[in-house]
Amino acid sequence: MFGKSELVKNVIHKSNMKFEDILNKVKEILRKTYGFNLLIVETAKGRDKNYIVSNALPYVSDPDDDVNNEYPPDANKILLLLILTHTFMMNNSVSEVSLVGFLKKLGIDVEAKHPIFGNVKDYIAKTLVKKHYLNVTGDPITKIQTFSWGPAAETEISMQAILEFVCRVYKNRQPKDWINQFQIASKQNFRNKPEERNFDSLQ
């Protein structure tokens, strides 16, 4: 992750172009040439904007992976899907207690090492939060943590696909049955390009 001040210091003073013009050109080159998205990460009011790069290419499995391995090397995508689904269906704001309880109902104990997903608690804190698939906020008084979708998830993963997944689980339900979630998903589809919202793009 890097900040706007770093870009200005190391790039702008060497160019006659405006910051926004340079940033747009960088976004275009990163995407078309290297297969990366450049994302803005929300920061505290009055502070520099921060930026991260995120994979924009579809996931392709490695044919050299051990075919005899009982679990796929990207099994944690399943865990991410479950976490983002629960968060989204809770109107994109879920307490740590609610998330832990949801996972426990599925036989996933965050306090114990899972045979497939490993250390789930570390995965959430050190991978999903650190890589901005989840945002986390904490109440200074109650110390309760709340999770929501991060900018990487917003850009790479389709809320519409999440909603369709929920419909398959419940059966005989349509995305429009969840009015609030359907509206949010529709807005995301309007904002982002289809290739940026493929769940399989997650590495």
Locate 135 and state its tokens. 């945002």
Judge whether residue 30 has pLDDT over 60: yes
Angle, helices 76-89/96-105, rounded to nearest 10 degrees? 120
Q: Tell me: the pLDDT tens digits for 54-65?
A: 666 554 444 444
- Strand 94-95, strand 50-55: pairing: unpaired
Judge whether residue 198 has pLDDT over 70: no
Q: Which pLDDT belongs to residue 195?
A: 45
Q: Tell me: the pLDDT tens digits for 121-158?
A: 999 998 999 999 999 998 888 888 999 999 989 888 89
Nearest 5°: phi and psi at 116? -105, -45
Distance CA 72, CA 59 (A): 13
Average predicted confidence (pLDDT) for the chain: 77
66 Cβ partners below 8 Å, 6+ apart?
none
List the strands of the sheet with 94-95, edge to edge: 94-95, 145-149, 134-138
C-beta of residue 117 within 8 angstroms of C-beta of residue 76: yes
What element of type H or E holds 65? none
Q: Write down all domains in the chain, each with its CATH number in brackets.
A: 2-55 (no CATH), 76-195 (1.10.10.1210)
C-beta of residue 135 within 8 angstroms of C-beta of residue 148: yes
Residue labelled with tokens 């289809």: 194
List the strands of the sheet with 36-41, edge to edge: 2-3, 50-55, 36-41
Percent of residues, the chain, with pLDDT higher than 90: 38
